[in-house]
Structure formats: C-alpha cells, structure tokens
Amino acid sequence: MLAAAGVALLALACASCGGGGGGEGSSTTSAAPPLAQAQGFADGFVQRLVAGRWTPIESDVAPMLTRSMRDFQSTIVRDGITRARVPGRLAHDCPPSPAVDAGKDCFVYRLSGQHIAPVGTTPLEARFRLWLNYEDGRWQAVNYSYDVLPGASS
C-alpha cells in the first residue's frame, strides 16, 4: 500500500516537471521572438502565396487554416492577383481574432493584378492582412483577411 502511494506521488511529481498545465504550446509561445523578426518569413510567404502554388506554402500554414488558405489562394489566382508589394508593414491596429489567438499585430500587404473579364481587363488592388504565430520553433500563418480596394489602379 505504501509503495503504491509512493508511485502515485512520483507520477504526480513527474507530471508537474513538464512545464505546468499549459503544455508545449504555451511554453513555445512564451519563447517567441518579437513579431518584427518575422518580416522576412511573412514577405516570402506572401510572395509564394501570390505565385499560386500550394506546395511551397503548405507547411507554413497552421492546420486549422489549411482549407481556407488553399481556397483563398485559388480565388486570388482566378481573380488575377499576380503581385505582392513587399516588404509588408507590421501594423498594430489589426482587428483581433481571439478564436485563433490572432491579436492586433499583423503584417499588411498590397496585392495587385489584372482581373480578366469577357469585356477586357480591370486593374485590381487589394489589402491582405496576415497574422502569424510562433509555434514549435517556427512561424506559421494563423489568420488572414483580404479586401479588394475600390477604384484602385495598378
């Protein structure tokens, strides 16, 4: 009986050695570098996104965002978006999305291209916001927003 109690206490002590109830995600997040250091990652991600091939960005997208981002990439290719102005701007006034731990800090880009329609082409310009999170020692896209800008020209 005493041995069983000792094993239970040992198991409890070992369980508390793992960093507390937060798990790996919280310990990784607390060690995240400043978001400004993700500028190169974000710029490269957006350029690969606009290039229209899924494989080069797939591993940089959080699993919960994969389907949405893949559909979005198809949409911007179909709409004629072909360029991203880099570097993006790190903004601190972005609309937060607590559901995906996306706060007010995001990278903002201008995307542009030519929408091809049966009656000709129309210049297209849009704002793209990208939220990143530092997970398992690397940056990942966790959220985005996309707004076509009215009356824009390339």
Residue type for 146, please?
Y
Q: How confident is the model at residue 152 (pLDDT cuts 50, 70, 90)?
A: low
Give 36-85 pLDDT, tens digit per residue: 999 999 999 999 999 999 999 999 999 999 999 999 999 999 989 999 99
Domain spans of the chain, in order of start:
1-31, 33-148
Q: Average pLDDT over the chain, rounded to whole?
A: 81
Cβ contact 95:127 at 8 Å:
no
For the domain made up of 33-148, the CATH class stated in words is alpha beta
Instruction: With CA atoms as reference, report the closest residue to 128 among 88, 75, 87.
Output: 88
Confirm whether pTM is higher than 0.85.
no
Instruction: With CA atoms as reference, report the closest residue to 115 among 148, 71, 68.
Output: 148
